[in-house]
Structure 1
């Protein structure tokens, strides 16, 4: 039972979901601060009000705060757009590549690895040129008569 839970938690989509939730929560705070600090005052100014009644209207002494609603709507749209374009869309593209069997190309090896590979290949080719056919390394054989 514990192994099944561990397998469930370690699935890629569960980890991606957890990362998305954490990033979304942090980003929502930033967007909320932006909209409360800049967008809501602009809505209140465009509403023609100033002071405490800006962005509100009254019907029979009941106050309707449309600026707060519009601010929340803009906060939601900005957060949803950023999460879609920076989290969901790239993950969907990667999942589609995996389904088609296309993995991203591997990174080129570092320069020291390339150099060591060239040295190894040079040693192997020089070693095979000095030995005769069928020679095994470490054994001394007599040369055939001429």
Structure 2
């Protein structure tokens, strides 16, 4: 059993890119969590009068449902989703529409190879009957 296949797998570009993405994602998550925990939550709690979302809970009989940490996680998710959409997805889409090759409006005549419109039913150069293409 050789290690060549495993070595080839590890050295492929997409494995390295995935590792870099995980490291960057982990670092970004730490930043967002700190932003929510240290800046956003105290600002919101100053308005709402609650110092920490983590301590929020709902009492139903003898059961205690803690939902504060869920609120923190939800706010973190919304911030990450917003940042990813507006700073990664949206600019990428705009860039791709700018550089996306436009679809040709013409085609070649199969007989004489003259360029004719896709909707043409007859070649203007050799008068060959053509089937329109939409």
TM-score (norm 1): 0.46
Q: Which one has a bigger Cα radius of gyration?
A: 1
Tell me which protein shows more strand as a share of its residues.
2
TM-score (norm 2): 0.49
